[in-house]
Each structure stands twice: as C-alpha cells, then as structure tokens.
Structure 1
Amino acid sequence: MARATRATAATRQSTRRSSRLNNQEIKNNAIVEIQQRPRRGRKPVDSSSLLDLCSSETLEKPFDHPRRSSRITPSELLRRESVLEAREAECKRRADELDARSVSLSKREDEARALMQGIATRESKAILAQLEEHFTCALCYDILAQPYSLNPGQCGHTYCALCILRHFFSRLHKACGGWHESVDCPMCRSLLVITPDRVPRLDITFPFVPNRTAAAMCESMIEKLAQSTTGSSLVVKREESEGSWPGSEWDMEWGRKKGKSKEEEEMEEENADLAGWREGGNLRTEWLKKDRRREMLHLLKYWPTLRSQDFVDLKHKLGV
C-alpha cells in the first residue's frame, strides 16, 4: 500500500512538472510568433509597378471621363433648351396671373374701403342730424354742452349750462344783487321761482337740474363723430361780404363759385361740418370750451349761503 501511494504521488508530481513545462513552451512559442509577425501598415508603392499598371489599364480600357461639353450632344442641348423655354413661358404666365390677381384684389380693396368710408360718412351724417334735431340749445343754436334743465315743476326745457347761467344772471340787479322779478324760460316763458334774499335758502329754490340723459347721449354721439374715419377735407366758407371783385370767378350770391351746383356746395358744407367734429376740429374745440360745469356745481353747492355780493361777482365772472 505504501509503495502504491508513493508511486501515485510521484506520478502526480511528474504530471505537474510536465504541465508547467508545456505551458512555458506555449508561452515562449507565442512570444516568438508575435515577434516574428510582420507589422501591419501601408506597403511601399513601387513607382515602376504603378506605371506598368496604369499603362496596362490604359491599353486595355479606353478613357471614360471626357469633358462635360463633349458628353452632351446637340440634340440633347436643343431638347434642354426647349424645356427651359417652356418652363420660362409657364413662369411668365403664372406671373401675369399673379399680377392680374393683385390688381383685382387692389381694386376690390379700394372698393371695400370706399364702401366702408361711405357707410361711415352716412353714419356720421345721421348722428349729426340727430344731434342737431334733438340736442340743440335754443339760446346758442349749438349742440348742448353740459345740459341743464329748468325746474321740472315749471317747464323742464334743457339748455347749455353756460347759456342758462348767463340768461339767469342777466336779470340780476348789480346795485342790490338780487332778483326783484321772476325769471322766465326762454322758450315757453314759464316763470321760475323767485330767488329768496334771505339765507339760508332751501335747496328746492335752486332753478336748475342736471339733465344726465341728454348729457350722456351728446357725449357718446360726439365721441363717435370724433372717431369717425371720414376723409373729408376742410372747406373754407365765404361770406357775402368777402369781396367779389368784378370779373372774378366768385359770384355775389353767397360766395358761390361759378360752375358749382347747389348740391355740391351742400355736400362740401356737410363734409366741413363732419370734419369740424373730428378730433382737433374747430366745432369740437368750441364745444369743449363751453364746459362750465364748475360754475354750476359751485352755485349748487353754496346756493343756501350765497349772498348778494357773491351773485354780483359770479355775474361779472360770466361776462353778462
């Protein structure tokens, strides 16, 4: 048993040594192979072999890359030229169609603009006609500016604040600063309540009442006239006394120019009135200047305690 065990151990030891030697030999052989293997890279080109190759290819196969002009035949050129001409004609036709469409669209745009301008002009004329018919002051014959009505218990007619104040204080006596007679309405001659001399006065004796409905309507309509897009130009009005020299082109009949009809002059006057109510126009400026709400509010606030001298000072301030 002991011999067999020793023999087995010796065999294993020899196997181990032989495997180590074999592995070492494999490694050495791999190193030698790697060292002997040639390096990869570009091979040197031999000029003589390259010339021989080119000469052989040239002889075997003709040259296939001539110039571009030599490859296109005259028939091909004519065909391409005809194609280009057809395309050019098609582009020109489309350009003409686009020009025609552009002209047509511009005409339609002008027609729409003229139509809208005509609608705006008619609307402005209608608004101005309503203002002149329903919201005209009977004292200044202009559009109501800050309208105030007289005592509703008497008549209720409406006037501009500045106009009715001037009319009311025109009856004031400067010597005593009081009203010794009643003030009547300029339209219906209805008598107002006589202003009492004693203070404090009652609020019901104040002869004016603000007409807020008329004020709102006038302001909204005048604002629409100011924002209107009418393209009318200002027309200078001539009076009869603005000299018409003998032989001039202006006639003596209200400065009417020869060759113009009555309808044309009326149209020019309407356009001038509309232009005057636009932003910055003379009629709108004069209307804004008549805003004398401060005097009316001051009079209403201190009406119970105002004395004779205060009324006289207010009459001087109004320029009556």
Structure 2
Amino acid sequence: MRRQNGKGAKDIQADSEAPAYSRTAVKPSYGPPGKASESRLKRWEESLRKTEEKLDSRKRKLDDLENAAKDARTDLNKRQKDVAKQGRELARAQKQLEKQQLAIAEKESAVAKQEQETQDLALALSTSRAEQLIAQLEEHFFCSLCFEIIACPCTIGSSRCGHTFCALCIMKWYFSRLCPDCCTWHEDLECPLCRTPIAAPKVVPADGNTPCPFAPNRMVDGAVAELLNTIRNESTASSGSSSTSPKGKGKGKSKKTEGGVISEAIALWGEGGASRVDWQDRNRRGHAELDRLTTGWTRMGPGDYKLMKNRLAAT
C-alpha cells in the first residue's frame, strides 16, 4: 500500500513534522462586478437616501420644535415681565388705595368731630333756651297758693285786684270758708294776696247782684301753654331719644340720655316728665271745676256748694 501512495513511512513522518507556515492560503479571485452587485449597490444607495431624508425630516422637526420652544420661552419671559409689571402696578395701586383710605378715614373723623361739636352746640343752645324758659315760667307764672306753675289760671273777677291763681287752688280756698252746717259764708272773704274784698252770695241760689267771683284768665292760660310746649320741643331736641323721666321734682341735677346730658328740670318738663304730667292733670281738673262753677253759679244751692267743697277736699 505504501508503494501505491508513492511515499514511505519516512516520507509520511517528514510531512507530518513540516512547519505549518509552509502552507499558504489561496486568495479568492474576484472577477468584474456583475448585475447582482449593481442591484445591491442601488438598493443600498436608495436606502441611504431614504435614511438621509428621514434624518433631514427629523432635523427639520427638531428645528421646528426648538424654534417653538424658543418662541414659548420668549413668550413666557414676556408674560413674566408683564406679570411682574402688573404686580408692581398693583402694589403701587394698593399703596395709593391705602393712602386714600387713610385720607378718607381722617376726613370722616374730622366730619364726625364737627358733627359732634355741632350737636353739642345745638344741645347747649337748646338746653340753655329750655332752662331760660323754665326760669321765666317759674318767675312769672307760679301760683301764690301752691307755689307751682299755675294751672288753669283763674282771676278773682268780682274784685278790683285782678290776681290770678290756679283754679283748683283758689276754689279750694274759697269753699274752705263755707260753713259745713248751713252751707253759707259767714266771714268776709278777701284776696289771699292783697286783702281786697271778695263777694260771697247772700242768698242761695246767687242772684244777679252776686256774680260768680272767678273767671278764667285766658291770656295767662295761653302764655303758659305756649311756654310749656316750647320747653317740651326744646327738651326733645336736646335729649334726642329721651329715656324714662325721673319721678319726683327738682332742678339743677343732670340726666343722661342718648342725645347727651340735660338738666333734670328740663327732663321733668319734657314730654312725659313728672312736672308736666302733674300740671296737665291740675289743668284738666281745674278747667272742669271752673266751668262747672261758672255755668251753674246761679242755679247752685247749698247741697251743690257742699258737694263741690267735698270734691275739692276743701277743709
């Protein structure tokens, strides 16, 4: 067999011990490009072109996005500047408003102070006016029998003195001289002030020779009523909204109301005051009794005299 291969054992051993680099690789030989290579190249070029177009498109989109972002940043910066400007303007407006509010508050305070001063002055004038009227009333229109403001002024008409008293006071004094047994007058009657004689009926009922000794003094009655109404109006203006009037009588003290401080004398003679209510009651009763006496004088008998004496509580 070895003979047929043309090599002996030594030859085979020599071949196996030969170095490996003695073997050289055979390079493939390329021939000229064919149609298949050109087709692949065209496909690569077409693919490269499409890729480049996609890249260009993406680049344009990226540029557009960057431009849009830039515009958005520019717009945002502008808006931030506008907001900052508006904030500064708002702060200035707020300060201006605070100044105006402070000025308004000062003006309101000044106006309120002026109004209070005006009210105080009006109160002082009204109080002074009312106090003057009360002083005038007490000085010129008081009854010498009860020493109160005269109510239903009544004049001794049958005498020449002309003194005026409260109707209830002078009638009570007159009928206190009536004898309770025979219901006639046994003593001579005189004016309580000047001792001028006052006629008393000698016969009952009284005839024309003995007219009714009392007559209403309408001039004094009107003057007193006018003064009291003026005092009431002045006290209402002084007190504004008056509270409950104090009980009792007196003057010189002060009374606090919603409208200010007024004297107690004004409060007593104001609407609902104790002095005013007392005067109104005496005035009403006096007019009723005087009218009953003057209209029934020529018809009154001893029983009527006694009844009137008891009704007047003349003792």
Q: TM-score, normalised by structure 2?
A: 0.67
1:178 is aligned to 184
CA distance change for structure 1 residues 152 and 312 in 2, over 3 Å: closer, same or farther? closer
- Residue 224 of structure 1: which of 222, 230, 252 is its match? 230
2:306 is aligned to 312
Please state how far the C-alpha of 1:235 moved relative to its aligned partner.
7.2
Is residue 296 of structure 2 the alignment partner of residue 302 of structure 1?
yes
Q: Give the number of equivalent residue pairs.
A: 238
CA distance in 1, matches of 2:152, 2:300: 23
Whether the 8 Å CA contact 1:235–1:268 is kept in 2: the answer is no
**Greater Rg over alpha carbons, structure:** 2
2:113 is aligned to 107
Q: TM-score, normalised by structure 1?
A: 0.66
Whether the 8 Å CA contact 2:180–2:306 is kept in 1: the answer is yes
1:278 is aligned to 270
Equivalent runs, 1:1-320 vs 2, <5 Å: 70=76, 72-151=78-157, 153-199=159-205, 201-202=207-208, 205-227=211-233, 228=235, 229-231=237-239, 266-268=252-254, 271-291=263-283, 292-320=286-314
1:148 aligns to what SS in structure 2?
A: strand
Please state how far the C-alpha of 1:203 moved relative to its aligned partner.
7.8
Q: 1:315 is matched by which residue type in structure 2?
A: K
CA distance in 1, matches of 2:211, 2:179: 19
Whether the 8 Å CA contact 2:154–2:166 is kept in 1: the answer is yes
Whether the 8 Å CA contact 1:161–1:296 is kept in 2: the answer is yes
Q: 1:230 is matched by which residue type in structure 2?
A: S
Whether the 8 Å CA contact 2:200–2:210 is kept in 1: the answer is no
CA distance change for structure 1 residues 223 and 195 in 2, over 3 Å: closer, same or farther? same
When the two chains are superposed, the root-mean-square deviation of aligned CA atoms in Å is 3.2
Whether the 8 Å CA contact 2:215–2:294 is kept in 1: the answer is no
1:159 aligns to what SS in structure 2?
A: strand
Deviates more, 1:201-210 or 1:162-171: 201-210
Structure with the bigger percentage of helix: 2
CA distance change for structure 1 residues 66 and 313 in 2, over 3 Å: closer, same or farther? same
1:244 is aligned to none
Residue by residue over 1:143-190, the C-alpha shift from the partner in whole angstroms, topping out at 9 and shown as x without a partner, is 010001112642000000100110110111111111123311111111
CA distance in 2, matches of 1:68, 1:150: 111
Please state how far the C-alpha of 1:304 moved relative to its aligned partner.
0.7
1:18 is aligned to none
